[in-house]
Chain A
Amino acid sequence: MTNAFSLLRKIIRPRSTRPAAPQTDNEAAAKKPENVDSTILKERLALIKNRLGESNDVVIREFSTGSTEVKMAVLFIDGLANKQLINDAIIKPLLSTTIVNHYPEKLTAKNAFDLVKNNIVFYSEISTAPDLTQALKMVLSGDTDLFIDGEQKVLVFGTRAWEKRTPAEPETEAAVRGSREGFTETMRINTSLLRRRIKHENLRFETMKAGRRTVTDVNLVYISDIVNQRTLEEVRRRIAAIDTDAILESGYIEEYIEDYPFSIFPQIEHTERVDKAAAAVIEGRILIMTDNTPFMLIVPTTFFQYISAAEDYYERPYIALFLRFLRLFVLNIALFLPAAYVAVVTFHQEMLPTPLLLSIAATREGIPFPVVAEALVMEGTFEVLREAGVRLPKTVGQAVSIVGGLVIGDAAIRAGLVSPAMVIIVATTAISTFAIPAYNAAVSIRLLRFPLIFLAGIMGLYGLICGLILILIHLAGLQSFGVPYLSPLVHGTFSDVVKTFTRPPWWLFVRRPHMLGLQQSRRQATNTFSRKPEGSTRELTHDATGEKRQNQPGGENDS
């Protein structure tokens, strides 16, 4: 089956076999004869106006300066660039005669470029663009260009500053304990959030671009001496192969680079939490940051990542252990509780203890539909209610839930359309679905529930197990960037299994996951938990009062 998928993928998306198309439409435009770049400022500005059009946010400020009246122009996009900064740090020194004439060299068209760059402007982040196309690209990202008459090269000032959202608590991944900061839509803020957590020199932000028209920044974040180089190379290759007009959200990238595009399971985890992203990077995974979205992708991803939550790592290990197993259990409930109920009530009544069987039979008395139809209809109704409630304003949403609750919970039962047992089953399943920490994993479980109910309805538990085996065949065939999806349960080392299904105390986390094939697997010395100082076995309180010492002379030495 997976093979069929990969075959289809080959047909649909030949990777890197296509002849190199022009990366952006700008480059294509630059190749047209009427768009040839010129060093004469006047022609150049005309060309810019031609290429950018009459957009009202494009600002061009022409001026001339120095005793030889060198002509210059500043180009920036209003709203993307910091106007105050451009005034104070670029235009003001250039127009101030005291500053320009301060230097022994006279400002002429010939030396203007170097003099401006090295001496005159008060700016830290200056770069040079070789030609107009490059310069325009940077302007559109919020930088400021300075064109000098008679000069091919363009000075580019990093003035990106636009309206940003401040980091807020991530709504999709709330936690009781842990950092309240979530990623925002602005790449620069996001990189700073990560840099603040990982201050190591080997933290790398590698920039790539994707999308012909959106020219979206995509950053690969990793630690260069931990990450698996082959995985990194593969990620680069897949992102570079994306050839589309728009990348508006990391979900686009996810679908372009995942291994099995037709799989129902999400193969790339995403997060909004900064601490979770930082932990993933430190663990040796690669973070794919996309501009304009707070959702970061984490690769490689394994299935069991979806049963862990950031909080597990901050609370005591015992509760984390309990919660992980609870989530595994809940995952199974969400997947096949309704199907199992259908199978048992339809085919395997002998499994139920007699009193329970009797009470179920009594509630089913007079219900006109077979159990499987009842289950499918109820699950369907629940999905409708949920979908209706998700996007409504809170006030209206309440009305939906009241109507839904009344219709499903009460009226349907009183009318004898569904049995109360089925309502309990559907409700339990629904709540279990919500208890899965990852929304995208919960979605695939929700979808798979329906075919399983159907199979259980026609072949009982045998049908259910056939369905589960099919799912397992699919899962076992999946890989995410070279790591089997079911790792570490398959292909895994014992310590990986322990680290996935329990959460050992931090001082026992000696190695990073083996399955990722990292350059350095050791992350700390063994047994680094802080011991008590040698010999001080007495409790501090006793030491303070001195009571114990009098009662047990020499107790310290004995123990």
Chain B
Amino acid sequence: MLEKGKISPRQSGELLFITVFATSILIVPAVTTSIAAQDAWLAILLSTLPGFFLLGVLSWLGGKHPGQTLFQYAETILGKWPGKLFGLLYVWIMLQTAATTTRQFSDYLSTAFMPLTPLSVFTLSLIFLSVVAVISGLEVIARMNEFIILLVVAFLMLVMVLALPNWEPANLLPVLAHGLVPVLRASATPAVFMGEVLVAAVLLPYTTRPQRTFAAGAAALLSAAFLLAAGVVAAIAIFGPALVSVFRFPLHMFVRTINIGDILTRFEVIVMVTWVAGVFIKLSVFLYCASLGLAQVLGLRQYRPVVFPLGILVAVFCFLFFENIVEITEGIKSVAPKVYAIYYLVLPLLLVIITVVREKIFGHKFQAKRQ
């Protein structure tokens, strides 16, 4: 076993929550609102459906192959070399997600807080922290997350409550003015983030009671979607859909409007600080999954030696893939849903189909053997 640590179902649920939630709260509100206007919250809730589907598929596969991660049972199902290729595809997509996450957040920090600081300061420091965390192991990430999740959720709640005086509920009306079609179109972008429950495929075998991962993951997905929707509702209620879709980071603007007795003002920096922690966990989770995956595909005995090189790779990707923040946002709006649909829906479904075909037609038995 590459990973000796075990996490509890609650911890894995919390990891999934922060993975889905951490950066979606930055990007999703503006993108969804630009398509679905005041119905953006509905789009977000709808977007959990593919997430649930993926989670169901992964739990089913994980139940068939206890003690194995996605990378290992891909080899069992597809055969050695096709399975390795399949695993590499997922290592790639995880690295790419990690790079996108880092770049998004670094851009946010750079534009919103420290425009004079070079972008690489943020990307490199974030990646450095993640590398240290990943080398410390899954248990450490999970434990840290238990602490950080409190901060992230508590601050978001606090911010929403403090902003209540600025609400204009009329901004949220009318509901479904243009029918369901824009809502469905808008749900594609949040679905990309909801699909990040993919990491459950790696966490599952290291959870103490794997059969409860689906429940934990579902709870994580739902709560992330509700918080996200609440954030969007709050943003729209304050600014109206037109403004929200123009803002680059609506939630940032939204925090800036808060003013309690001229003392609590402009504390978006503090909110930023909690988000750094959340994004750091997300990045660590993806880097961990990618490193573990690569180690398993290559048949290494330790995943730790590949963490640092992969971290450097992520840093390079950050600058190689994207020119600027607009490109990221546009990419997430139009290209990403199609690309990620392959990884989050088509390929896992392919595994399920091949499993069923091999079992039902060729009579092959995937026996539940424990490692």
Q: Which residues of A contact B (CB under 8 A)?
A: 1-4, 347-348, 350-351, 353, 459-462, 464-466, 469-470, 472-473, 476-477, 484, 486, 489-491
The docked-state distance in angstroms from the alpha carbon of A465 to that of B276 is 7
B257 to chain A, nearest CB (A): 14
Contacts of B269 in A (CB 8 A): 348, 351, 461
Docked complex Cα distance between A460 and B109 (Å): 12
Q: Is the CB of B143 within 8 A of A469?
A: no
Decide: A462 and B114 in contact? CB cutoff 8 A. yes
Residue of B nearest to A463 (CB): B125
Task: Tell me whether A462 and B277 are in contact in the complex, defined as CB-CB below 8 angstroms, given that A1-B132, A470-B132, A473-B144 are known contacts.
Answer: no
**The one of B117, B146, B263, B280 that contacts A469, using a Cβ cutoff of 8 Å:** B280
Question: Which of A347, A351, A460, A490 lies in contact with B143, CB distance below 8 A?
Answer: A490
How many of chain B's residues touch chain A, expressed as a range?
35 or more
Whole-angstrom CA separation of A465 from B126 in the bound complex: 11
A477 and B136 within 8 A (CB) = yes
Which parts of B138-152 form the interface with A (CB within 8 Å)? 140-144, 146-148
If A473-B132, A477-B137 touch, whether A351 touches B266 (CB-CB below 8 Å) is yes
Q: Which residues of B contact A489 (CB under 8 A)?
A: 146-147
| A332: min CB distance to chain B, Å | 12
A473 to B137, CA, bound (A): 10
- B103 touches A (CB below 8 Å): no
CB under 8 Å from chain A, chain B span 117-163: 117, 121-122, 125, 129, 132-133, 135-137, 140-144, 146-148
| B132 contact set on A, CB distance < 8 A | 1, 470, 473
B147 partner, pick from A1, A347, A459, A476, beta carbons under 8 A = A476
Q: Give the CA-CA distance A460 to B116 in the complex, in Å.
A: 12
The residue in chain A whose Cβ has the minimal distance to the Cβ of B121 is: A459
Asked if A473 and B276 make an inter-chain contact with CB atoms under 8 angstroms apart, the answer reads: no
Cα separation A469 to B263 with both chains bound (whole Å) = 28
What's the least CB distance linking B205 to chain A, in Å?
Answer: 20
> A2 is contacted by which of B129, B136, B147, B265 (Cβ under 8 Å)?
B136
A466 touching B129 by the CB < 8 A rule? yes
Q: Which of B122, B136, B141 has the most CB of A within 10 A?
A: B136
Within 8 Å by CB of B144, from A1, A347, A466, A472, lies A472
A491 to B146, CA, bound (A): 8
Shortest 6 CB-CB contacts between residues of A and residues of B: A476-B143, A490-B143, A490-B146, A476-B144, A477-B140, A465-B273
A-B contacts besides A353-B262, A461-B269, A473-B140, 8 pairs, CB < 8 Å? A351-B265, A351-B266, A459-B117, A466-B125, A472-B147, A473-B129, A476-B143, A484-B143
Residues A3 and B135 in contact in the complex (CB < 8 Å), given A459-B117, A462-B109, A476-B147:
yes
> Once the chains are docked, how many angstroms separate the CA of A519 from the CA of B146?
27
Q: List 23 A-B contacts (CB under 8 A).
A: A1-B135, A2-B137, A347-B113, A348-B113, A350-B266, A351-B266, A351-B267, A353-B262, A353-B265, A459-B121, A459-B125, A461-B272, A462-B109, A462-B113, A462-B273, A465-B273, A465-B276, A470-B132, A473-B133, A473-B140, A476-B140, A476-B147, A490-B143
CA–CA, A476 and B149, complex, Å: 14
CA distance A517 to B135 in the complex (A): 28
Select from chain B the residue with minimum beta-carbon distance to A489: B147
B304 at the interface (CB under 8 A from A): yes
Residues of chain B within 8 A of A459, CB atoms compared: 114, 117, 121, 125
Cα distance, A209 to B178, chains bound together (Å) = 82
The closest CB in chain B to the CB of A2 belongs to B136
A233-B146 Cα distance, complex, nearest whole Å: 30
Query: Which label, helix, strand, loop or mixed, suits the secondary structure of the B interface?
Result: helix
> What chain A residues lie within 8 Å of B8 (beta carbons)?
491
Q: Report the minimum CB–CB distance from A554 to chain B (whole Å).
A: 51
Which residues of the other chain, B, contact A4 by a CB distance below 8 angstroms? 135
Give the docked Cα–Cα distance between A297 and B262 (Å): 50
What's the nearest-Cβ distance from chain B to residue A514, in Å?
A: 13
Q: How distant is the Cα of A350 from the Cα of B109 in the complex, in angstroms?
A: 16
Docked pose: A527 CA to B122 CA in angstroms: 54
B residues whose Cβ falls under 8 Å from a Cβ of A: 8, 109, 113-114, 117, 121-122, 125, 129, 132-133, 135-137, 140-144, 146-148, 262-263, 265-267, 269-270, 272-273, 276-277, 280, 304
Give A410 to B269 CA distance when docked, in angstroms.
Answer: 34
A3: contacting residue among B109, B117, B136, B146, CB under 8 A: B136
Question: Which residues of A sit under 8 angstroms from B267, Cβ to Cβ?
Answer: 351
Query: If the complex has contacts A462-B109, A476-B147, A491-B143, are A469 and B277 also in contact, measured as CB distance less than 8 A?
Result: yes
CB-based contact A469/B276 at 8 Å: yes
Q: In the assembled complex, which residues on chain A have CB atoms less than 8 Å from the CB atom of B273?
A: 461-462, 464-465
A347 adjacent to B114 (CB under 8 Å): yes
Smallest CB separation, B314 vs chain A (Å): 17
Please determine whether B144 and A465 come into contact, CB atoms closer than 8 angstroms: no
Question: Nearest chain A CB to B322's CB is how many angstroms away?
Answer: 20
- Give Cα A472 to B284, complex, Å: 14
Residues of A within 8 A of B114 (CB): 347, 459-460, 462
Residues of A within 8 A of B144 (CB): 469, 472-473, 476, 490
B135 to chain A: which residues have CB within 8 Å?
A: 1, 3-4
CA distance A491 to B133 in the complex (A): 18
* Candidates A3, A473, A484; contact of B304 at CB < 8 Å: A3
Rounded to whole angstroms, the CA-CA distance of A470 and B132 in the bound complex is 8
Smallest Cβ-Cβ distance to A350: which chain B residue:
B266
Q: Which residues of A contact B122 (CB under 8 A)?
A: 462
Shortest A353–chain B CB gap in Å is 6
Please, how many angstroms separate the alpha-carbon atoms of A484 and B136 in the complex? 14
Q: Which of B121, B136, B266, B280 is the one whose CB lies under 8 Å from A1? A: B136
Asked if A470 and B129 sit within 8 Å, CB to CB, the answer is: yes
Residues of A contacting B148 in the complex (Cβ-Cβ under 8 angstroms): 472
Closest chain A residue, CB of each to CB of B8: A491
Cβ contact within 8 Å between B146 and A353? no
Q: How far is the CA of A350 from the CA of B252 in the complex (A)?
A: 14
CB distance from B127 to the nearest CB of A (A): 11
Q: Give B107 Cβ to nearest chain A Cβ, in Å.
A: 14
Chain A proximity of B9: nearest CB distance (Å): 13
Q: How far is the CB of B365 from chain A (nearest CB, A)?
A: 38
* Chain B residues positioned under 8 Å from A465 (CB to CB): 273, 276-277
A490 to B273, CA, bound (A): 21
A473 touches B121 (CB 8 A): no
Alpha-carbon distance between A348 and B113 when the two chains are bound, in angstroms: 8
Q: Which residue of B lies closest to A455 (CB)?
A: B125
Contacting residues, chain A, for B133 (C-beta < 8 A): 473
Whole-angstrom distance between the Cβ of B80 and the nearest chain A Cβ:
31
Cα A459 to Cα B140 with chains together (Å): 26
Q: Quick check: B140 and A2 within 8 Å, CB to CB?
A: yes
Query: How far in angstroms is the closest Cβ of chain A from B326?
Result: 23
Q: What residues of A have a CB within 8 angstroms of the CB of B140 in the complex?
A: 2, 473, 476-477
Compute how far the CA of A348 lies from the CA of B133 in the bound complex, rounded to whole angstroms: 28
Chain A residues in 8 Å Cβ range of B270: 351, 461
**Bound-state Cα–Cα, A555 to B29, Å:** 64
How far apart are A218's CB and chain B's nearest CB, in angstroms? 31
Which residue of chain A has its CB nearest to the CB of B129? Answer: A469
Q: How far, in angstroms, from A219 to B266 measured CA to CA in the complex? A: 57
Name, among B133, B263, B272, the residue most crowded by chain A CB atoms within 10 Å (CB to CB). Answer: B133
CB of B121 to closest CB in A, whole Å: 7
Q: For the complex, give the distance between the alpha carbons of A491 and B208 in Å.
A: 13
Residues of A contacting B265 in the complex (Cβ-Cβ under 8 angstroms): 351, 353
Contacting residues, chain A, for B129 (C-beta < 8 A): 466, 469-470, 473
Of chain A, the residue at the smallest CB distance from B284 is A473
Which residues of chain B are within 8 angstroms of A460 by Cβ–Cβ distance? 113-114
Interface contact B143-A462, CB-CB below 8 Å: no
B146 to A, closest residue via Cβ: A490
Q: Give CA–CA (A353, B143) in the complex, Å.
A: 36
- B7 → chain A closest CB, angstroms: 10
Minimal Cβ-Cβ distance residue in A for B150: A489
Query: Once the chains are docked, how many angstroms separate the CA of A4 from the CA of B136?
Result: 9
CB distance from A338 to the nearest CB of B (A): 17
A247 CB → nearest B CB, Å? 32
Q: Which residues of A contact B146 (CB under 8 A)?
A: 489-491
* Complex Cα gap A470–B148 (Å): 13
- How long is the Cα–Cα vector from A472 to B148 in the complex, in angstroms? 9
